[in-house]
């Protein structure tokens, strides 16, 4: 109940005014059954605007810090993320990857839409970064389609470090579902998982128009400021098109 109240009554109207969001390709989101929505990630507001324009409810795997805060702010965050159906995962423990996989598989097993950011964290500079293979592992184990989603403009509305959102134009582009059934029985193969991940990132690059950087965003965030702007990858090193010919 809280999910729909937040979407249509409490928060949705404000977001509509701030971002004037439009969605292209909404027909690619299945009307029922499980699927993975794999999105680029430019701002916290990605997790608000995608559900706002999606015809179906989306469940995201949220970092556990949103559920463990203290004081008034912590209690509000815990209530809000729980109310809208987000699933907490601990990204720091030794079993973090397996815990995230189990949580995602539970969502898909319940026939729901699972929202995932393959980059693993927000882009630090608006470019598209190398995807992690956890999404591919879920897709291969569950057999569900992966639907690429490009969020455009959220970094202008909600820049990193900003305390309050700004007016901007948000565009959401939903690509055609990608069927990975050709890899049936090959789950757990790291080369196949990398190929699946790269294919999804290729689609995201085409949808979003972002420049691709062949390193993990988290790695760049951990570098000193003077090393935070690597040169673009040469054409030969950019993400390959792994689609079947």
Cα angle, residue 97 at apex, residues 184 and 95 outer, rounded to 5°:
130
- Spell out the residues 6+ positions from residue 193 whose beta carbon is closer than 8 angstroms to its own: 133, 136, 137, 140, 187
SS3 58: strand
Torsion of CA 32, 36, 41, 45, to 10 degrees: 30
Q: Under a CB-based contact definition with an 8 Å cutoff, are residues 57 and 2 in contact?
A: no
Q: With the C-alpha atoms ordered 118, 120, 121, 125, is the resulting torsion angle positive or negative?
A: negative
**Ramachandran assignment for 157, one of left (phi > 0), alpha (psi -120 to 50 degrees), beta (any other):** alpha
Positions of the chain with pLDDT under 50 = 225-228, 231, 234-237, 244-245
pLDDT of residue 86: 83
3-class state of residue 19 by DSSP? helix
The pLDDT score that the predictor gives to residue 223 is 64
Q: Tokens 């292209």, residue?
A: 24
Contact 180, 159 (CB under 8 A): no
Domain borders along the chain are: 29-237
- Three-state DSSP string of 65-102: HHHCCCHHHHHHHHHHHHHCCCEEECCCCCCHHHHHHH
């Amino acid at each position: 109940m809280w999910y729909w109240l937040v979407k249509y009554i409490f928060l949705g109207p404000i977001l509509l005014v701030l971002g004037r969001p439009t969605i292209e390709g909404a027909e690619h989101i299945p009307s029922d059954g499980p699927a993975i929505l794999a999105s680029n990630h430019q701002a916290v507001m990605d997790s608000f605007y995608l559900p706002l324009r999606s015809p179906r409810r989306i469940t995201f795997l949220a970092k556990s810090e949103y559920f463990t805060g203290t004081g008034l702010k912590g209690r509000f965050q815990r209530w809000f993320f729980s109310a809208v159906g987000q699933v907490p995962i601990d990204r720091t423990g030794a079993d973090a990857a397996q815990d995230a996989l189990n949580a995602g598989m539970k969502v898909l097993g319940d026939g729901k839409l699972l929202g995932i950011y393959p980059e693993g964290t927000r882009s630090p500079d608006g470019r598209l970064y190398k995807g992690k293979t956890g999404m591919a592992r879920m897709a291969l184990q569950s057999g569900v389609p992966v639907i690429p989603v490009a969020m455009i403009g959220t970094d202008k509305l909600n820049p990193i470090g900003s305390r309050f959102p700004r007016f901007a134009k948000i565009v959401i582009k939903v690509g055609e579902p990608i069927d990975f059934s050709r890899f049936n029985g090959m789950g757990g193969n790291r080369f196949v998982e990398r190929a699946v991940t790269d294919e999804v990132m290729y689609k995201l690059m085409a949808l979003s128009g972002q420049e691709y950087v062949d390193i993990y965003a988290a790695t760049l965030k951990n570098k000193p400021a003077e090393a935070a702007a690597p040169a673009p990858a040469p054409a030969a090193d950019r993400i390959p098109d792994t689609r079947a010919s």
